[in-house]
Chains A and B, each alone.
Chain A
């Protein structure tokens, strides 16, 4: 069966450190992989998209890697800030464009 697994535990880190989130998947062949941020009671907000033929993508303090051999994506938040505290969702995009989401990892950044 198809599975998308993100860090099962919530992540608590000190301000200024790097948060690293993991997204592993099985029985998928996604064309794209996306990361979204979700704050409590709100809809997800798009952060980054990476294609299957790309190894790494960066946007400001965010970095995403995509290894289709390992079937894994890593999401890094560098120089983390308390405002980065949220749930981060990994989503696999299929050829028919719908998204399949992981359960998310909750990140808390301590000042």
Chain B
């Protein structure tokens, strides 16, 4: 399967714990995006990378959130000191870039903070 993969698919944690999610984009894609989706809503943009450079961060991304994309390949999203409000589906997407900006999404990581 050459699509976008995410790991883990599900995560249950206690409030105050740190969690880290991984995204492996389609191999030739240089852009990588993170979105968050809550029940009944569309995905909300969090941040994106062009190769290894993080070019934009949403104001939704508090100081407790950090994302990296070392060497421009896979990416990690870490949430420190999780809160119940962080419970959501975290989606990763990748794209080739350029004018036809079709984004290909992974299956998501569903986070539940107890």
Q: Which residues of A contact B (CB under 8 A)?
A: 4, 32, 34, 36, 41-46, 49, 89, 91, 93, 96-104
Contact = CB atoms under 8 A, between A and B. Distances in A.
11 contacts: A4-B42, A34-B102, A43-B91, A43-B93, A43-B105, A46-B102, A91-B42, A98-B33, A98-B48, A99-B103, A103-B42
A83 B95 CA distance: 27
B42 A101 contact: yes
B65 interface: no
B97 A89 contact: no
B16 interface: no
Closest 4 CB pairs of A and B: A101-B42, A43-B105, A98-B45, A97-B101
Interface in B15-50: 31, 33, 35, 40-45, 48
Interface of B: 4, 31, 33, 35, 40-45, 48, 55-56, 91, 93, 95, 97, 100-108, 110
A4 B42 CA distance: 10
Contacts of A104: 41-42
A81 B89 CA distance: 28
B102 A97 contact: no
B24 to A, nearest CB: 13
Interface centre among B33, B40, B43 (most CB of A within 10 A): B43
Nearest to B50: A97
